[in-house]
Structure 1
Amino acid sequence: TGVVVEVTCKEGTKKVKAYGKTKINGKYSITVKGFNYKKYGGKACKAKLHAAPKGSSCSIPTELHWGKKGASLKVKSKTKYEVVLSAKSFAYASKTPYKECIESSINHYKSCFSFNNIIKEGCKSRK
Structure 2
Amino acid sequence: MEYEIQYRAAIELRQSERRKALEAAEQIVTLARRLRESAAGRERVSVSDTLETIQKQAKRIRSLSGGGESDPVIENWPADLEAGAEQILALAESLKQQLESLDHRVISLTIINGSTSIIRLADYLREHFRSAGS
TM-score bracket, shorter-length normalisation = under 0.3
Greater per-residue helix proportion: 2
TM-score, structure 1 as length reference: 0.25
> Does 1 or 2 have the higher relative contact order (CA < 8 Å, sep 6+)?
2
Q: Which has the higher strand share?
A: 1
TM-score normalised over the length of structure 2: 0.24
